[in-house]
């Protein structure tokens, strides 16, 4: 656990807001984009997200 570095290939983020919480995991892809999967408390679903460098 600690700060992210240039060589990292995975990143996790968690948050708390009032009485709820959520988390996301991002994974660096060979083409340089990051693909993530996230969810929040009380949900029985997960959603995906892509980060593209501009």
5 pLDDT above the threshold of 80: yes
pLDDT tens track for 13-40: 999 999 999 999 999 999 999 999 999 9
Task: State the virtual CA torsion across 30, 31, 32, 37 in degrees, nearest 10.
Answer: -70
pTM for the whole thing?
0.76
Query: What ranges in the chain are assigned the alpha helix state H?
Result: none
Closest CA relative to residue 25, chosen from 33, 40, 16, 35: 35
């Amino acid at each position: 656990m600690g700060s992210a570095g240039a060589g990292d290939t995975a990143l996790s983020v968690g948050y708390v807001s009032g009485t709820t919480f959520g988390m996301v995991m991002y994974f660096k892809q060979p083409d340089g984009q990051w693909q993530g999967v996230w969810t929040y408390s009380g949900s029985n679903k997960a959603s995906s997200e892509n980060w593209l460098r501009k």
